[in-house]
Amino acid sequence: MCCACWPLCATTPRVCLALSPHYIVKFFKITGRDGWISLGGVLLAVTGTEAMFADLGHFTAASIRLAFVGVIYPCLVLQYMGQAAFLSKNMSDVHDSFYLSIPCTVFWPMFVLASLAAIVGSQSIISATFSIVKQCLSLGCFPRVKVVHTSRWIYGQIYIPEINWILMVLCLAVTVGFRDINIIGNAYGLACITVMFVTTWLMALVIIFVWKKNILLALSFLIFFGLIEGAYLSASFIKVPQGGWTPIALAFVFMFIMYVWHYGTRRKYLFDLQNKVSMKWILTLGPSLGIVRVPGIGLIYTELVTGVPAIFSHFVTNLPAFHQILVFVCVKSVPVPYVPADERYLIGRIGPRQYRMYRCIVRYGYKDVQKDDENFENHLVMSIAKFIQMEAEEAASSGSYESSNEGRMAVIHTTDTTGTGLIMRDSNEGTSLTRSSKSETLQSLQSIYEQESGGLSRRRVRFQIAEEEQINAQVRDELSDLLEAKEAGVAYIIGHSYVKARKNSNFLKSFAIDYAYSFLRKNCRGPSVTLHIPHISLIEVGMIYYV
């Protein structure tokens, strides 16, 4: 990594003067007022080493500190001292000091090494871009893209094909468009010093609000580093017409994309929040909800953590039939790196017990791997069963089983199967208690689809109620309905919404919703792919949102 900035230093060799005040003064005497502008070139001396900290997603902080202190920093000092010594005797060769200071016998090996080091530095930037985009996805600030986890053990190693292609196109456009490494260096230097300056301000906020330190300490930190970086930033801004405008333009483009996506997603969520179905309306429908309850489990994906989404009433209004068991699933990303598996599922009940309606909130950290979990359905059934048992025990202690704890959510430990009243076993062990309600035609079609998609390799399990346990009769009936529905099959229902601006909206809102946000939604990955929903069990319900 110590060689990552060598190709840039070759064109702006005055960066070696950054380590010697004597040579800085001497250089300013020679260059005059251009010396201030040259601070932008001095900045390039540290950009290569700064790129190594992008590897925090792949390596620990301790390993990076050890590599920097033991290898990178000594190599940098020796390299810059060598250039300074060369310039002290050859000031006329300031524009080509890097290559002229290298002995002829090792010129080409050093040229190859510098080029390879530049590639390593660029790889760190690419990895950092992937990590930032991944966290923006978790916070809902970036359109959905495909995230490939390249390591089974290291969560930070990811690959995003769309972002990789965009970076390639941008690199080719900048290289072909400018055709001058000095202009590219100006753009790169402005981008780096802007990141450092913004990081300094954010670090001051961390000192105050996260570390709970005195505000004077934060101000001292901000003033000391802010003045130094402000000087370099002002020198870099002078070079905005000479290529420095490139990172500014790209920053505005990506900020516009992120703002439009976040704004549209937020407006859609507020629409769901304001138009959710009231519990009074559901209670008036009765236990059957006024529709035909067909066998099976219906998983309705929603962003709401409370209430019933409007898409449910839209569905039953147009097609008056729904599954025997209804589970409203909400997948949320929480602002912590990881969520333990035993704290991932929150289960609750919607309405009275005879309605057979539940809520499940699945929580992921911004560094958790949301992979295609083949045991999700099994974990869900076990979690609901455990919740039913927990609720029955609390009701028995209070003496009223018929009371319903509407809105209460309980954390269910999926790794602990005790207290569920169910026994999980492989499908080839014994027979099932219930017979699937699917016809032979549907079963054959499903088997063909699973064989083509590799579904036969998945572990199949069957559930049965533990006979030796003393279970309340009403609890046993509810568990039997749950198992019967599981054997009949699981369907995933997700809303395919079209977001439109109201007719009385202003021009900016209409443009942002009807054109920009609509374009991003059409060209990003669908929510069913992001949530790893099996295609054969997916039901999409179309609905227009006027926000």
Please say whether the beta carbons of 42 and 156 come within 8 A.
no
Rounded-to-10 torsion of CA 208, 212, 215, 216: -120
- Whether 68 is in a domain gets the answer yes
Give, for 492, the enclosing helix (H) or strand (E).
strand 490-500
Number of Cβ within a 10 Å radius of residue 195: 13
Residue 378 has pLDDT above 70, yes or no: yes
Query: Residue 147's Cα: distance from chain center in Å?
Result: 9
- At residue 127, the pLDDT reads 81
| Structural domain ending residue among the three candidates 179, 197, 230 | 179
The pLDDT tens digits for 225-243 are 998 888 888 888 888 888 8
Report yes or no: 42 and 232 within 8 Å, Cβ to Cβ. yes
Pair 170, 268 in one domain: no
Does one domain contain both 284 and 141? no
Residue 269 has pLDDT above 90, yes or no: no
What is Dmax (Cα atoms) for the chain?
Answer: 96
Q: Is 273 a member of any domain?
A: yes
Q: Are residues 174 and 312 in the same domain?
A: no
Residue with more model confidence, 187 or 418: 187
pLDDT-derived band at 62 (thresholds 50, 70, 90) equals confident
Q: Is residue 469 part of a domain?
A: yes
Classify residue 390: in a domain, yes or no: yes
pLDDT for 15 equals 38
pLDDT band at 200 (very low <50, low <70, confident <90, very high): very high
Q: Which domain holds residue 164?
A: 6-179
110 within a domain of the structure (yes/no): yes
pLDDT for 2 equals 39
Q: Could you give the CA distance from residue 4 to residue 85 in angstroms, rounded to a whole number? A: 21
Residues 139 and 268 reside in one and the same domain: no
Q: Is the pLDDT at 192 greater than 90, yes or no?
A: no
- Please state, in angstroms and rounded to a whole number, the distance separating the CA atoms of residues 401 and 415: 27
Q: Are residues 332 and 469 in the same domain?
A: yes
Residue 328 forms beta bridges with which residues? 300, 359
User: Domain end: 179, 194, 226, which one?
Assistant: 179
Summarised one tens digit per residue, pLDDT across range 152-164 is 666 667 889 999 9
Where is average pLDDT lowest: 193-202, 211-220, 441-450? 441-450
Structural domains of the chain, count: 2
pLDDT range class, residue 499, cuts 50, 70, 90: confident
Which one is predicted more confidently, 521 or 401? 521
Looking at the fold, whether 442 and 335 belong to one and the same domain comes out as yes
Phi-psi category of 296—alpha, beta or left, where left has phi over 0 and alpha has psi -120 to 50?
A: left
Residue 69 has pLDDT above 70, yes or no: yes
Asked whether the predicted pLDDT for residue 416 surpasses 70, the reply is no
251 lies in some domain: no
* pLDDT mean across residues, the chain: 77
Residue 234 is assigned to a structural domain of this protein: no
| Residue 191 pLDDT | 86
Q: Are residues 289 and 415 in the same domain?
A: yes
**Boundary residue ending a domain (132, 149, 179):** 179
- The predicted pLDDT at position 201 comes to 93
Give the Cα separation of 239 and 47 in Å (integer): 17
Q: Give the model confidence (pLDDT) of 424-440 as tens digits.
A: 555 544 444 344 555 56
152 is a domain residue: yes
C-alpha to C-alpha distances, 362 to 283, 302, 416, nearest whole angstrom = 26, 11, 17
Confidence band of 13 (pLDDT split at 50, 70, 90): very low
pLDDT the model gives residue 253: 93
- Comparing 6-15, 98-107, 327-336, 398-407, the range with the smallest average pLDDT is 6-15
pLDDT single digits (tens) 15-24: 333 444 454 4
Same domain flag for 169 and 292: no
- Write out pLDDT tens, residues 249-268: 999 999 999 999 999 989 98
Which two three-digit tokens encode residue 313?
A: 């009433």
Among the ranges 92-101, 115-124, 143-152, 293-302, which has the highest mean pLDDT value? Answer: 293-302
- In angstroms, the Cα distances linking 509 to 278, 296, 506 are 29, 42, 6
pTM: predicted TM-score of the whole model, two decimal places: 0.72
Let me know whether 45 and 140 are in one domain. Answer: yes
- Examine the domain organization and report whether 494 and 389 are in the same domain: yes
